[in-house]
Structures are given as C-alpha cells and as structure tokens.
Amino acid sequence: MANSYLSRSESSAGSSTKGTLSAWIKRSKITSDYPRIFSSYIDNSNHWKVYFDNTDRLNIYGETGGSLNGQLVTTRKFKDTDAFYHIQVAVDSTQGSSSDRIKVYVNGVQETAFDTASYPSSSANMKFNGGSGNTDVIGKKEGASSDYFDGYLSHISWVDGAALAPTSFGEADSTTGQWKFKSPTGLTWGTNGFHLKFESSGALGTDSSGESNTFTVNGNLKQSISTPSNVLAAFSRSSWWDGTATNGNTTTNPSGATAYRYVTTGIGVDKGKWYWEMKISTLGNYTLMGITSQPSYIQSASQHNILGSRAYDYSVVYNDAGGNGHKYNNAGTSPTNTPGAYMAGFSANDILTFALDLDSATKKLYIGVGGQWANGSGSTNQTFGNTTGITITAPASTDTGSYFPASGEYGGADGICEFNFGEGRFGTTAVASAGTKSTGDDSIWEYDCPTGYYGLNTKNLNTYG
C-alpha cells in the first residue's frame, strides 16, 4: 500500500468507550517513519491510532483535547517481512482495572511487555466512533499525506461497542498449533463496525459486515492473492542485503546497496518442483539472478560472496561487456570467471523464467527467456521438454539444506528486477496474457507453467512440497 490508503467519513455516533480492531498484516518495509495501520481521526488533538514506530515497535496512541488518552508501546519489535501478523487491539475504558482498558494481542497471544504503558482514565471518551467529524483511515497517517503502510493488509475489521477476544477472528491450527485466520461470525458490529475482505479488485473498500460502512480507495491500491491462508514468496528484508525492495518486496533495486551482495526470498525449499518469472525493467551491468542455499551470507575480506561465487549458488548474469547469459556457479570473486555461455543474452524488459526441480534423481535448475528455454550452450530456443538444465547439488548436501530464489549484483550494478511469484504482476503491471497454470495452483503467470511445477507459496508447500 506504499502510496495508497482507504478512508471513510463516519455519519452516526457509536460507542465512545469500547471497540476492537482486528488486522491481518504482512510488512514489506521496516524501520520506516511511523506506518499506520488504522486511525479514527477528528483533528490533531483528538484521535486514536494503531501504528508501527520507526524502531518497529507497535504503538497504540490516543489524544483527547491535545492531552494523552492512553498509550501502549510494545517492547517487542516486529521485523518479520515473510509472514502475516494478526494484530488485535481491544479497548474498553469502562473496565475497573486500568490495565484491562486496552489489550493488545499478536497471533492470538496477549502482549504484556511494554516500553510505555499509559492507560485511559475510567470511562474516558476514546475519540473513536464519534460520528460526524470522525474520519476512519487505513494505511496512512491521519490528516497528512505521508507515513503510508507498506505491505499487505487482509481482513481488516472494526467492532463498534465491544472489546473482543482474538478467538473472534483467529484460531490455532489443530495440527500445527499455528495461529490462523477464522472468518468472524455472529458478531454485533455496531454503528461504525466494518469488515474489509478485499475480495473485489474493483471495489476493495467494500464492507462485508452488513453495516454498509464502505471505504473510499485512494491511490494505486492493488488486490493481492497473498493472504494469511496462502502467503506467496517475496524477498526477505531481514537478510544481509541493504538495497531497496518495493511492490510487496517483489521488485529489487541494488542502488545504494553494499556491493557484491544478494537478497533471497523468505521461503526456501528442499523438495518439490517450483516455477517463477522475472523481468529486468532497468538494465544494470552484472545483474545476477538464480538460486542460493545461503539466505544471508556474511561477507569476508577474501570472498565477496556474490550470487554465484559459492558452490551452492547458481545464477545467470547480465553483462553488457560480454558474458550476457553466462552461467555463474562456484566462480570465486568475480562474474568474469563464468564457465561460458549457458543461454542467449537478454535485454531490458525481457521476461526470464525459472523452473527448479528438486524431486528428480538429478536436481536441476532450468532457465528461459520469452517462453523459450535454454539449450545449455548459448541459445534459448527449446521447448521445456527439450531444455538443458543446470545440474545442482541436492539440497541435503548443501550447507543449509534448502534453496532460495535470489537476486543480486556485482560491483554496484543498478539493475532493477521485477519478480512474479504467482501474483500475476511485474511490479505494478499485470501480465500481458496469462499462461497455463498448473492444476490446483492459483498462481498467475506470463508464460505457460511447465507441467508438474507450482508457484512458490505456503499452500503449495503444504500440498506439493
């Protein structure tokens, strides 16, 4: 939602003392300037809000008449960009015990450690559900054009008039014990209550609570198929790489990053057959893309650890000085040490395809361009059935036991790479003509997905991985 938000002007007053926010969120950008989740806003002196601060702590903050009216700042920091958090805040200022007046739950568990803990006075007016004059905002700083939430939002709910337990919106999986989404039922939503499912791409602000409290969509908000129930692969911001990742961490830009590094997805695999696509939207000399077994390798003085320098790195390189389309594996400190052409060279806006086979006796990484696949000797002119893949070490024999899709550079290259892990977009641009999906896979591709291969997401990991 990096430049987008939702807003709604309240028309009728509800409860001024009780309310529950439930939000399923996946962060993309961390350590940023106060990205908002939700706020109910009258003016700069009267508002209630939930947000992350610039050290990644969760903040609940309220003001009435310019004076503090409750604030909780968690000790815990929320830096995970690979999974959804379920954030729930239950407010009831009528409670006799001050610490019961605001409760914070994350993934079904109540937070009890706070760097700041200031609770509302008894029966305080919390400045939400105020009716005319109140604006409810999701994903942006109230009353300003900054501090957007950068990431994914799913099933945002507000209950006007009740402080609810997290079991109204989630439950523990009976097999794994992991907290998972549960569709809320039987709730009394109240005058200003809403439930945003984001089901319709053309009406993302639609309220499904039955209260008709629909939000206005502002900016270039996009619907995603990555949800708490099925998380698509994206690049992990917690790795050693310090470049820029945008569009839900699917677009990588090494500009300004420490040279010779790479970034990987948060999802790694040790079995299964997996497919993904990538467009180079801006060329940069020595842009590298492929797989690695090591998601965050520590750079040493003697080894740059570029994507392809190690035994368990496999990549191809764009090099406008020669070597474009060459394979790069176990090649030391420079991609000029490549063992020779693997595929035909590629250019700006070409779409590369990757198929990783970890099920066959001989493990392979296949790479293609424009719907054709490499023959292994410098051309890209084969059907998938005739392609020549790169033989890779079995995951069990690597240093981490898994492989991760990766994007990297050598010596300060500024190539911008847009990955499609099944979302059906490169950056913010939808695929031109969706290719064939694998059976049972909801992923959306530019080209035909090879038979028996699947998009890299948690649903497919459980089913096919």
174: Cβ–Cβ under 8 A, 6 or more apart, which residues? none
Amino acid identity of 260?
Y
With a cut of 90, say whether residue 267 has pLDDT above it. yes
Q: Kindly state whether residues 179 and 284 are assigned to the same domain.
A: no
- What distance in Å separates the CA atoms of residue 222 and residue 2, rounded to the nearest whole number? 10
Residue pointed to by tokens 């290259």: 413
With a cut of 80, say whether residue 465 has pLDDT above it. no
Mean pLDDT, the chain, as a whole number? 92
Instruction: Convert the pLDDT of each residue in 370-386 to its tens digit.
Output: 999 999 999 999 999 99
Percent of the chain residues past pLDDT 90, beyond the cut: 74
Between residues 27 and 440, the one the model is more confident about: 27
Identify whether 156 is part of a domain: yes
With a cut of 80, say whether residue 313 has pLDDT above it. yes
Element (H, E) at 235: none
Q: Domain limits at 352?
A: 244-464
Q: Kindly state whether residues 154 and 13 are assigned to the same domain.
A: yes
Q: Kindly state whether residues 201 and 316 are assigned to the same domain.
A: no
Surface-to-core class of residue 199, CB atoms within 10 Å of its CB (0-12 exposed, 13-18 middle, 19+ buried): exposed
pLDDT tier at 208 (50, 70, 90 boundaries)?
very high
- What distance in Å separates the CA atoms of residue 420 and residue 250, rounded to the nearest whole number? 7
Identify whether 24 is part of a domain: yes
How many domains does the chain fold into? 2
Judge contact between 226 and 423, C-beta under 8 A. Answer: yes
- What distance in Å separates the CA atoms of residue 86 and residue 104, rounded to the nearest whole number? 11
Q: Kindly state whether residues 312 and 378 are assigned to the same domain.
A: yes
pLDDT at 30: 85
CATH of the domain at 261: 2.60.120.920
Q: Tokens at residue 124, please? A: 């305080």
Identify whether 327 is part of a domain: yes
Per the document, the length of the chain is 465
Nearest to 262 by CA among 319, 317, 320: 317
User: Where does 191-309 show beta strands of DSSP type E?
Assistant: 194-196, 216-218, 244-246, 251-253, 262-264, 273-282, 287-292
Identify whether 90 is part of a domain: yes
How many C-beta atoms lie closer than 10 Å to residue 38's C-beta? 25
- What distance in Å separates the CA atoms of residue 438 and residue 455, rounded to the nearest whole number? 9
pLDDT at 298: 60
Q: Kindly state whether residues 260 and 303 are assigned to the same domain.
A: yes
Between residues 261 and 75, the one the model is more confident about: 75
Residue pointed to by tokens 């990991």: 461
With a cut of 90, say whether residue 336 has pLDDT above it. no
pLDDT tier at 301 (50, 70, 90 boundaries)?
very low
Compute the average pLDDT of residues 43-65.
95
Pinpoint the alpha helices (H) of 149-302.
Answer: none
Between residues 339 and 442, the one the model is more confident about: 442
With a cut of 90, say whether residue 305 has pLDDT above it. no
Q: Kindly state whether residues 340 and 448 are assigned to the same domain.
A: yes
Per-residue buried b or exposed e for 212-239, using 16+ beta carbons within 10 Å of the residue's own CB: ebbbebbeebbebebbbebbbbbbbbeb
With a cut of 70, say whether residue 112 has pLDDT above it. yes
With a cut of 50, say whether residue 268 has pLDDT above it. yes
Residue pointed to by tokens 């939400």: 128
- What distance in Å separates the CA atoms of residue 334 and residue 349, rounded to the nearest whole number? 25
Cα-based distances in Å from 367 to 60, 337, 345, 355, 360: 48, 20, 12, 7, 17
Judge contact between 277 and 418, C-beta under 8 A. Answer: no
Identify whether 364 is part of a domain: yes
Q: Kindly state whether residues 272 and 126 are assigned to the same domain.
A: no
Percent of the chain residues past pLDDT 70, beyond the cut: 95
Identify whether 284 is part of a domain: yes
Task: List 356's β-bridge partners, or say none.
Answer: 274, 365
Least confident of 48-57, 252-261, 415-424: 252-261
Q: Kindly state whether residues 337 and 191 are assigned to the same domain.
A: no
pLDDT at 138: 96
DSSP string over 327-365: EESS-TT-GGG--SB-S----TT-EEEEEEE-SSSS-EE
CATH of the domain at 106: 2.60.120.200
Compute the average pLDDT of residues 173-186.
94
Instruction: Convert the pLDDT of each residue in 76-88 to its tens digit.
Output: 999 999 999 999 9
Q: Kindly state whether residues 208 and 318 are assigned to the same domain.
A: no
Q: Kindly state whether residues 272 and 135 are assigned to the same domain.
A: no
How many Å is the Cα radius of gyration of the chain? Answer: 24
- What distance in Å separates the CA atoms of residue 277 and residue 179, rounded to the nearest whole number? 31
pLDDT tier at 304 (50, 70, 90 boundaries)?
low
- What distance in Å separates the CA atoms of residue 380 and residue 403, rounded to the nearest whole number? 24
Q: Tokens at residue 114, please? A: 């706070």
Least confident of 100-109, 120-129, 210-219, 336-345: 336-345
Instruction: Convert the pLDDT of each residue in 401-428 to its tens digit.
Output: 999 999 988 876 788 999 999 999 999 9
Judge contact between 193 and 158, C-beta under 8 A. Answer: yes
Compute the average pLDDT of residues 158-186.
96
Q: Does residue 319 come out as left (phi exceeding 0), alpha (psi in the -120 to 50 range) or beta? A: beta
Judge contact between 419 and 393, C-beta under 8 A. Answer: no
Identify whether 225 is part of a domain: no
Q: Kindly state whether residues 39 and 133 are assigned to the same domain.
A: yes
pLDDT tier at 2 (50, 70, 90 boundaries)?
low
Q: Kindly state whether residues 459 and 328 are assigned to the same domain.
A: yes
Identify whether 231 is part of a domain: no
DSSP state, 459? H
